[in-house]
Structure 1
Amino acid sequence: MFNISGSGFGIEESEENSLIMTGMVIPDLEVKFAGGFSIKCLAQVVYRKLSGKNSSGNLVRCGIAIIDIHPADHMKLLSILSKVENDNTYIDNKVDIEASWKFFFKTGMMKPDRYASMRSDNRDIKETYKKLYDSNPDLARHFIYQTDSVIKGHMAMLRFYENSWLIHHEAAGSPIIEARLGVLNQVARFVHDSHRFSSLHMDYVLNYFDSENKFSNLVFKEGSQKINDSKMCSIDAFAYFQYQKDTMDNPKLSRPWKLTKTIPQDLIELENSYRASSNGLMLKALDLLPNVLMNRGLSGEYEKLGLRRNRYLYSVKKHDTLKAVVLLNLSDIGLNITDLTNCVNIFVLDQEYLPKEVLSSLLSQILLKIKLHEIPVLLFPASYAGENSIPFSKMYYLWILNTKGSDQFLTHLDHLVKK
C-alpha cells in the first residue's frame, strides 16, 4: 500500500495474481492496519498500470478512491494521517472541556463576562460538548494543535445547515501563527479529503469572522480573492449587535406591517434581491431556497442526541409586500461560544423602506415570542445599518466555500504555511 490519504490510496501487486480492474466498484472494502485497527468503505478503482518487475514477473499499481465511508471510520484514518504529518496535531482527540474554556479565555476568544455566564451552566455545556464532539462524528469535529500536552490552537466544525458545516471556536496561543496555521491546515485537509462522501453532507463550509481580524482576512478574504469565482467561494458582510428588549419599543408590528411565516414565493423574492447585488453562495449554504423550506432532517438528528437546533423563517411585509426575511436559529447554550448559532438573521430586501423603528418592533416581537430578554442579531446587508443609523458593535464577514473548490483553498493555505 502507498500514497495513503483521507480520500484514497494505492496498492501494488503482481500482475499475474491481480483481480482488480479500472472502474471496478468494491462495495465493502476493508483495510487493516497494524495493531488490529481496520476501516471499511465503499471504493472504486480509478487506475491500473504496470509499475515494474520483480523476480516473479510484472507488477501493477492500482489507485483506489474512497467513494463513501462511515464518519467514525474516516476519523480514525484521518487521525493516523495527521499524526504522521505533524505530531502536534490531533483530530477529534478527547478534550478536557474545562481546559478548553480556560484556553479560550486566556487567548481572548471568550470574554470574561461570557466565560462567567457559561460557567454557571457548566454541567449543561459539558453535556452538549460530550454529545457532539465525543460521540457523534456525523455532526461535529474538533481539531487541536498542542505541544507538551498544552493546547496551543483549537478549531471546531459543526454541521449546522443541511449540507453546510460551520467553522467555529478558533483560538490560538503562542506561537500564534504556527498554531493557527496548524489547525487551519487540518481543517482544510479534512474538507478536501471528505467533502465527496454523501454521508457527511458537506457541500459548503462556512466561517463568520470579525472584519477587523487581520489573520482571518489573510486566510479567508484573501483566499476568496485568489479563487476569484463567487460560485466557488464568496464573502458577504453582516452588521452585528446584541439586541435587548426596550420597554419603549412597540412589542408588536402595527398595521400595515406584519410578521408572517415565510412561504416559497418569499424566498424566490429574496433570491432575486440577493442576485441583484451578489452572485455568492449565501442562500444555498444557509438553506434559504424554496426547495429546502420544510426540510427538518438535520433538526431531527440533533433531537436524537437530546440537543436543540430549531430553525424558524418569518417574513416582514407591508401591505403584503415583502420587505425582509428573518431566519431565527435557536440552539443549546454552548453549541457556539459567540452564540452565532443562537441568533436572529435579518435579510433586508427593501433598504429604503424598512424604518429602524419597524426593525426594533420586529425584534421586540421576536423576543416576546421566544421569551428572551436579549439576543444577538446579524443584519444583512451591513450597509443597511449604516444608512439607517442603526448602531452595531462590529461587522462580521460570512465566508463560504463550495467544497468543489477546496483544492484551490488548500493551495492558498499551503502558500501561507510556506511563507
Structure 2
Amino acid sequence: NHPFLKKRIQLEVSDLSTSGFSAYEKVDEGILMLGMIIPELMIDFAGALQIKCAAQVIYRLEEKEKGIRCGLAILEMDINTYNRLTQVLASALDPHAYISSEVDMDALWEFFFETGFIYPKKYRLIQSYRKDFKKTYQKLYQENPEIAQHFTYQKNGRIYGHISMVKAYERAWMIHHHAARVMKGKRPGLMVLKEIMYYLNDMHRLPSAKTEYMVSYFRPENKFPDRVFGGFARDLENPRGCSMDLFYYLPYTSLSLGAKLPIRWSLQESSGRDLWELHRFYNHYSGGLLLDALDLEKKGPVKEPLEEIYKRLGFLRKWRTYSLSHNGELNAVLIVDQSDLGFNLSELLNGIKILVTNPEGLPWNILSVAIAQLTGVYRMKRVPILFYPVEYVQNKKVPYEKQYQAWVLDVRYGNEYMEYMQKKFRISYK
C-alpha cells in the first residue's frame, strides 16, 4: 500500500536483487517520490511466491520511451522471507545452487563420508550419540530453522559442494562444515563459498538479522581455508576489520574431577569488571574482533534472546562466562559453550574456551581443576577445550592435540572480502 495515497499501487519490477530493485512509472504520475519509505511492500512472483518487505525510493531517472525508472532499496524483511528470495535468485543464476532447501539426508551423509569430512575418528565420537545427532541434522536440513542456513551445490540430487552457518552468538554467525568434491567443469567448493558471502553481504543490512560478525575456525595447516579466510586477514592488515587468533585444542578427560581449588583461588561467574579486564588484555595482546563477536556482555536489549530462539525451535544453545581469580586478581576467563551434540561436528560450540589473562602466574594444575569444575554440564567423555594465548600452552607445557585459527570478519568489510575472492580466485558475483 502507498504510504500517502493509502491505496494499493501495482508496478512491474525489474533488476531484482537481495538489496533492491527498480520499477517504472509514467512521467506524469510521480507515485514513487524520492526518499519515500514504503513500510509494506509485496513482490509477487506470478502468484507463486510473495516477498513482503519494507523499501525506500533512492533514485528517479527518466529514460526515453520507458518513463521514470525508480530505484528502491530493501530496508527490511524477515530472515525466512530473505531465504526464499535468495533461493529464487540463486536458482535463476545457477540451477545447481541451493540455499536452505530441503536436503536428502542419505545424500548428505554420503557426501560427508566420501569427502572425508566425517573421518573415522570423528565418526567414533559421533557414534555414541548418533540417534540424537541424526535427529538434530534432520531438523536442521529439513525444517530449515532461522538459526541455521545451508548452501549446497547439486546435480541430479548428488551433492558436490556444501557449506553452512549457524547463529552462534547474539550478533555473530559461524561458518562451518565446508566441503566439496570434484565436479566436471565446476568448482563447487568455491561456488558455495560465493553463495554464502553473497547471502551475508546483503543480509547484514537487515536490522532484524542482527548480524555484525562472521566467525570461522580452521586448522592452520589446511591450505584452502588458510587462503580463503586467513589470506584475506593478512591482506587486509586491519584486525578491526578481520582478525585471526590462534588457539590450542585439547579434548579434556576430566582427570581432575572432584578436586577443589586451593585456598585464595576462586571460580565464579564473571563480573563486569572481569570482562573489562579481559577486554583490556585481549586488546593489548591481539586487537582483534573475537570478544566483539562473542558478545560476552550481551550488550543492548534483545527482543528475543538467542537462547530462547533456540529453545523455541527445539535446539540447545547457551554460553556462560566464569572467572578464575587468585586473591581477587583475574587470571583467566572460561567461556562455557553449550549446544546440541554434533551441532558443530568439531564441537566448537560445545566446549570451553579459555583466555588466560595472566599467562606467567597461572599454574596449569590450578587451571585444570577449574576446568574440571565446569565440565559437569556436558554429556561427552572428552570435552573440547580451546586455549588462548598459545604462549601459555607452550610455556606451561599443557598437552594439546591440534591448533585452530579463530577467524572473525566485521561484515561491514564484506565488499572488501568479495573483492579479495574475486581477485584471488576469479569468482564473479554477477
Same structural fold, with TM-score higher than 0.5 when normalized by the shorter chain: yes
Instruction: Supply the AA of the counterpart residue of 1:163.
Output: R
In structure 2, the CA distance between the partners of 1:95 and 1:233, relative to structure 1 (3 Å rule), is same
* C-alpha distance 371-188 of structure 1, shift in aligned 2 (>3 A): closer
Structure 1 residues 100 and 25, CA gap change in structure 2 (3 angstroms): same
Relative distance call for 1:131 and 1:201 in structure 2 (3 A) is: farther
1:291-334 deviations in whole A, cap 9, x for unaligned?
47999811111111222112121100011110000100111112
Quote the Cα distance in structure 2 between the aligned partners of 1:295 and 1:51: 44
Residues 366-375 or 344-353, more deviating: 366-375
- Give me the whole-angstrom Cα distance separating, in 1, the residues matched to 2:395 and 2:288: 23
SS of corresponding position for 1:392: coil
Whole-Å separation in 1 of the counterparts to 2:419 and 2:346: 29
Aligned equivalent of 2:158, options 150, 161, 164: 150
1:255 is aligned to 2:263: yes
3-state SS of paired residue (1:219): helix
Equivalents in 2 of 1:133, 1:163: separation in Å? 23
Asked if the contact 1:89/1:183 (under 8 Å) is kept, the reply is yes
Instruction: Give the secondary structure class of the aligned counterpart of 2:173.
Output: strand
Contact 1:70 1:199 in 2 (8 A): yes
Q: Determine whether 1:217 maps to 2:229.
A: no
- 1:374 corresponds to: 382
Give how far 1:355 is off: 1.2
The equivalent residue for 1:173 is: 181
The secondary structure found in structure 2 opposite 1:19 is coil
Which of the numbers 393, 397, 419 marks the counterpart of 1:411? 419
Instruction: Give the TM-score of the pair, scaled to structure 1.
Output: 0.93
**Local SS of the residue matching 1:239:** strand
Match in the other structure for 2:114: 106
Deviation (angstroms), 1:134: 3.3
Deviation at 1:251, TM superposition (A): 2.3
Instruction: Give the CA deviation at 1:35.
Output: 5.2
Map of 2:195 onto structure 1: 186
Structure 2 Cα separation of the partners of residues 144 and 372 of structure 1: 30
Q: Secondary structure at the match of 1:187?
A: helix
State the alpha-carbon separation in 2 of the partners of residues 10 and 123 from structure 1: 49
5 Å matches for 1:44-63?
A: 44-53=56-65, 59-63=67-71
- The match for 1:24 is 36
In structure 2, give the amino acid aligned to 1:224: A
Shift of 1:196: 0.9
Describe the superposition over 1:46-71 as per-residue Cα deviations: whole angstroms up to 9, x where unpaired: 111112235xxxx1111111111021
Q: CA deviation at 1:44?
A: 0.8
How far the C-alpha of 1:121 sits from its partner, in A, is 3.4
Letter in 2 for 1:127: K
Deviation sequence 1:347-372 (CA, Å, 0-9, x none): 11010011111122122222246575
Q: CA deviation at 1:193?
A: 1.5
Task: Give 2:167's aligned residue.
Answer: 159
User: Secondary structure in 2 aligned to 1:83?
Assistant: helix
Q: What's 2:55 paired with?
A: 43
Q: Secondary structure at the match of 1:329?
A: strand
Q: Any conservation in 2 of the 1:268–1:289 contact (CA below 8 Å)?
A: no
CA distance in 1 between partners of 2:80 and 2:379 (Å):
38
- What secondary structure does 1:284 align onto? helix
State the identity as a percent: 34
Structure 2: how far apart are the matches of 1:116 and 1:213? 22
Number of equivalenced pairs: 414
Report Cα offsets for 1:231-279 as digits up to 9, x if no partner: 22111111111111226x7722222222111111100000010111222
For structure 2, list consecutive stretches of 5 or more residues without a partner in the other structure. Answer: 1-12
- 1:387 corresponds to: 395
Shift of 1:201: 1.3
Take 2:396 and 2:249, find their aligned partners in 1: how far apart are those partners?
A: 14
- 1:271 matched to 2:283: no
| Preserved CA contact (<8 Å) 1:251 1:368 | no
- Cα distance between partner residues in 1 of 2:71 and 2:239: 33
Q: Separation in 1 of the partners of 2:20 and 2:407?
A: 28
Under a length normalisation based on structure 2, what TM-score does the superposition of the two structures give?
A: 0.91
Contact 2:107-2:157 within 8 A present in 1 as well: no
Q: In the alignment, is residue 244 of structure 1 matched against residue 253 of structure 2? A: yes
CA 1:348–1:411: 2 relative to 1, 3 Å: same
For 1:94-150, what per-residue CA distance to the aligned partner results, in whole angstroms no more than 9, with x for missing partners?
112333223222212222133244355344223323434433542110000123321
Amino acid at match of 1:242: P
Q: Secondary structure at the match of 1:75?
A: helix
Which piece of structure 1 moves more, 297-306 or 169-178? 169-178
Aligned residue for 2:81? 73
Alignment of 1:324-403 (within 5 A): 324-368=332-376, 370=378, 373-403=381-411
Instruction: Tell me if structure 1 keeps the 8 A contact 2:145–2:313.
Output: no
Q: Distance in 2 between matches of 1:263 and 1:174?
A: 51
Whole-Å separation in 1 of the counterparts to 2:302 and 2:39: 33
1:226-241 alignment, distance < 5 Å: 226-241=235-250
SS in 2 for 1:328: strand
RMSD of equivalent CA atoms: 2.2
